[in-house]
Amino acid sequence: MFKKMLCVASICSAAWFVPVANAQNTDVVSTAEQLRIQMVEPSENELNKLVLDDLSYGHSSGRLDTKESFIGDLMKGKSDFVTLNITDQTAKVTGDTAVIRHTLTATTNDSGKPGNVSLKVLQVWQKQAAGEWKLLARQAVRINP
């Protein structure tokens, strides 16, 4: 009898935690979507709210940006996303850290030069004391044509 009660309690506990994990996934995915929008129509104020000061932003070319250079390049048009689409996205929250993976396809106009890009992207998000998610790291690799 005790084992049955313990089993039922375990199942109920597991069911209790599923919505919390889903809510956290929804929160971080929503924040990642805000970043996607800001990369197409950048606002320095909004971008500053979405990324950590210690940002490590890796490009598929191997170039590495800091928070300052990432935001600066978007604001100056050095990185210019005309369109930016996300597909095949997954999110996994573990404690105060979230890992998001997705496929990114975009049309670009970097420094006035039109282009297209297809990437696989890994993002690492960190939940702050106030409960908001901020981007800590990002790395992209090109998809072979």
- pLDDT tens digit sequence for 97-107: 999 999 999 99
**pLDDT (tens digit per residue) in 11-53:** 443 333 334 456 668 899 999 999 999 999 999 999 999 999 9
CATH number of 2-142: 3.10.450.50
pTM of the model: 0.83
Could you tell me which residues come within 8 angstroms of residue 145 by beta carbon, excluding any fewer than 6 positions away? 118
46 token code pair:
């909004």
Is residue 57 scored above 80 in pLDDT?
yes
What residue ranges do the domains of the chain occupy?
2-142
- Determine the pLDDT at residue 145: 62
Tens of pLDDT along 104-143?
999 999 999 999 999 999 999 999 999 999 999 999 999 9
| DSSP labels, 24-37 | HHHHHHHHHHHHHH
b/e map of 45-70 (b: 16 or more CB within 10 Å)? Answer: eebeebbeeebbbbbbeeeebebeeb
Contact between 98 and 24 under an 8 Å Cβ cutoff? The reply is yes
User: For residues 16, 88, 112 and 44, what is the CA-based torsion angle, rounded to 10 degrees?
Assistant: 0
